[in-house]
Each structure stands twice: as C-alpha cells, then as structure tokens.
Structure 1
Amino acid sequence: MVFEYILKKNGIDPQKDLTIDQSIDFGSTAAAFTGDDSAAYTVEFEPSATILEKEGAGYVVASLGEASGYVPYTSYSAKSSYMKENPEIIQKFTDALQKGMDYVQSHTPEEIAEVIAPQFKETDLETITAIVKRYYDQDTWKENLIFEKDSFELLQDILEDAGELTDRTAYENLVQTEYAQKACES
C-alpha cells in the first residue's frame, strides 16, 4: 500500500504504467527477483535488500520510508479497560521502549548492531551493521514514541488510497500519547 501510494504521489499509475506482481509470497520476493530477468525492481525489507546488494544481485535505489514520510509501522494497542486498570504497567512498558529509542539516538550503528545481533542469529554482524547504518543514515528512528497527528493522517491517507479504509477516525478518538509524552520527560 505504501509503495502504490508513493507511485501515485509521483504521478505513476500502478494499474496503467507498470505491472506489479503481488502473487509471490513475501518471504520469497528476493529469490523470485534474482530468478526472473523480466523483473526490474522488487520491494524488499531487511535483511533481503542488503543481502541482494552484498551478492551483487541488486541495488537499493530508494527507501519507501524516506519517500512516504513518517508512516508509523509499529504501534501498540491495549483495551481502554486494561489501560485504566494497569496504568503503571503501560507506563513501564512505554518507558522501556523509550529507553531503547534513547539508546539508538546516542550510539553508533556499529554499537547498535553489536547489541541487537543476538536477536538475528541467521544474519551475520556485517550485514546487521550495514542495515543499521542505512536506517541510521536515513534517520529512520524517531527520537520519541509519540504518535503524531500528521503520521496518523498519513496512515489513513495510505489506507484510504488503497481502498482499505472507508471511514476516517479522528486522531483524538483513537490515539493516546500521554504515556509516550511522560516517557520522553523521564
């Protein structure tokens, strides 16, 4: 959806100006790309994009994250009743996430890669470092966890454009930022 939104934003009609093959299992797109000489581009998440580059089988030519604007790919949801009954748990969880955000802002890609490497046993440290450096250079990580209204509206624009959203929701009715704001202050 983000890819098609970016294409349209740049005057390219995904249905008329090119062919997008969405029949390939997401985990197999890199292999399909390298095995198909008719495919000029592929959309990849990491580590596939960096591995294609390392193998000389492709090049990262653009970042969907940079081209789209800040799309909140990760968010956390909880029932209002749970939040009301457990505010200390919600705050501690949010504080821990903010601590991770603070770490990323204050350390080098090499240091970050060393810390996260145990979570990615199937990927070598050199590849993890290259990925983190790419994200670092693109300024992928926000400084805080606050889900901004502009990002919420962009997400709804993308969903609406894709035909997945028929009724928009007011930011104030769905998003609560008090825990993230408090985490930033501590």
Structure 2
Amino acid sequence: MSTPFGADKTMTAVLSGEADIGFMGSEASIYTYNEGANDIVVNFAQLTQRAGNFLVAREEMEDFSWEDLKGHLVLGGRKGGMPEMVFEYILKQNGIDPQKDLTIDQSIDFGSTAAAFSGGEGDFTVEFEPGATSLEQEGKGYVVASLGTDSGYVPYTAFSAKESYIKENPEVIQGFTNALQKGMDYVRDHTPEEIAAVIEPQFEESDLETITTIVTRYYEQDTWAENLVFSEESFDLLQDILEEAGELSNRAPYEKLVNTEFAEEAAK
C-alpha cells in the first residue's frame, strides 16, 4: 500500500507498473485514454458516489449561499482534478462564473490547503476530511456546505488497473473486488459509531470522537453506494463535468474504460 496524493500521481504509479491497482478519480483514466495510452487503465469498481469534500469558511454562516463566495478568495484544488472540477460545476449550477466572480487559488499542494487556511490564507477553503473537521476543532474554520450534497451523485472515486493486468490476473481483481464489497456491506449494515470504532486503528492521528464525526458526515450524505458497479449514466455525468470544466477534448467510450463484471459478481 502506498499513498501518492492526487489522481495524477496515482495514475503515474499504475502506468509505470509501480502499482498494480490504483484508487483515484476516474477522470485520470479518461485523460490517459485520450492521450493515446497503449495499455489503457480500466475502472472495475466504483467506491464513492458523492464528492467527499466540504467548503470551510472563517466564520459560522447558518444561511450560507454559494452566492456568498462572490468577490472572495477560495483555496481550491489542482486544475483538472475532480475536487476542483466538482467545485466549479457547483458554482456554475448556481450561476457563478469561476473565473470572474471569485478568485480560486490553485497553487497549493493537495493536503496543504488546511494548513494554509489556518495560517491566514484565503477567505474559504475546499477541504477533505480530516482537514475540515480539524479546522473546526481548532476554531480556525467552519463547514458551511457539502460539495457532495450540492453536486449530486457523481462517480467520484474508483479502483482501476491496466487492461493487461486485469486480463492476466482476473482472480486477483475478483478477490479484491469481493473484499471491497464486504466493506460496502458492512457500511450499509452498521452505524457511523460502529464503523468509526472498526477503522480507528487506521487513523492514529485522530481520536475516536473525531473519526465518528467524519464518518457521520459521509454517512448522512449517502457517500457510499450499495455495490461497486460503475454505471454508464455515472460515466456520462463525469464526462459532462469534465467538458464543462474545459478539460475534455473527446468523450471516451464507456465500454472500453469500465468493466463491471467483477463488481456484478461481487454483488451477487
């Protein structure tokens, strides 16, 4: 297990053979396909169906509206990455021009925006967990909106591997997908408190109360689907978001970049 932060770095690890399976935003597989990759990267299990990040403000805003971002500086994500594209998609859905109505700072590395915000940079920041909750606990910020809720159901993350690896190791992919489905089943059948208690050892830097708060946020916004099947409808929506962001020159074929047979078998 290794953790290269960001879909671009994860995709590089898969393409180079450093990793057999990658967990990332599926936009990376579309980009590499359109760039003419000889051994395309195929999505075989969709994990989350909502964005997992939140908008954090410097002050509590009980009646927050996306209009409130106009004229302000927001710490955003990497250009072409799902966090930033979903954020801009929401802005456009609310009649806000990401280029003209506010300033989005995309220069800060993934994982460093919370520290930058805590240090005084920006009026708002878009944060994953545990960054969002940490800022609240420190009294440095307040979660005012969920991008996952406001963007709707988006195929945010998926597991993928090179086409050649899947063909040569179907038993590995099936076993891996079966294990993922067991995790999905557990999440479906247990409370946030029970889930937090099970995963606590994986997050030594956070206490159980913090982990429970984070899991509850994700649980209540229906982040996880009941199975891992990556539907064509979801894939089309993903490409709609890419197109709106100006990051997609040609739409990629669903049948080439998505394989549902392993997820369908795991769900039986």
Q: TM-score, normalised by structure 1?
A: 0.91
1:14 and 1:81 mapped to 2: Cα distance?
A: 39
Greater strand share, structure number: 2
Give the match for residue 62 of structure 2: none
Give the match for residue 6 of structure 1: 90
1:148 and 1:10 mapped to 2: Cα distance?
A: 26
Number of residue pairs aligned between Structure 1 and Structure 2: 184
Which of 103, 109, 113 lines up with 1:19 in the alignment?
A: 103
1:177 and 1:148 mapped to 2: Cα distance?
A: 8
Give the match for residue 158 of structure 1: 241
Could you tell me the percent identity over the aligned residues? 74
SS of aligned partner of 2:112:
helix
Question: Which one-letter code corresponds to 1:22 in the other structure?
Answer: Q
Greater helix share, structure number: 1
Deviation at residue 184 of structure 1 after TM alignment? 0.7
Question: Which one-letter code corresponds to 1:14 in the other structure?
Answer: P
Structure 2 counterparts to residues 1-186 of structure 1, below 5 A: 1-36=85-120, 39-185=122-268
Listed as ranges, the gaps of 5+ residues in structure 2 are 1-84
RMSD in angstroms over aligned alpha carbons? 1.6
2:237 and 2:152 mapped to 1: Cα distance?
A: 8
2:246 and 2:259 mapped to 1: Cα distance?
A: 26
Q: TM-score, normalised by structure 2?
A: 0.65
Deviation at residue 169 of structure 1 after TM alignment? 1.2
1:166 and 1:123 mapped to 2: Cα distance?
A: 42
2:95 and 2:110 mapped to 1: Cα distance?
A: 26
Listed as ranges, the gaps of 5+ residues in structure 1 are none
Question: Please, which moves more after superposition, 21-30 or 140-149?
Answer: 21-30
Deviation at residue 74 of structure 1 after TM alignment? 2.2
Question: Please, which moves more after superposition, 70-79 or 47-56?
Answer: 70-79
Deviation at residue 48 of structure 1 after TM alignment? 0.7
2:110 and 2:169 mapped to 1: Cα distance?
A: 37
1:109 and 1:117 mapped to 2: Cα distance?
A: 12
Deviation at residue 102 of structure 1 after TM alignment? 0.4
Q: Whose relative contact order is higher, 1 or 2, with alpha carbons under 8 Å and at least 6 apart?
A: 2
Deviations 1:96-153 (A, max 9, x none): 0000000011111111111111111111111111000111111111111011112211
SS of aligned partner of 1:76:
strand
Give the match for residue 57 of structure 2: none
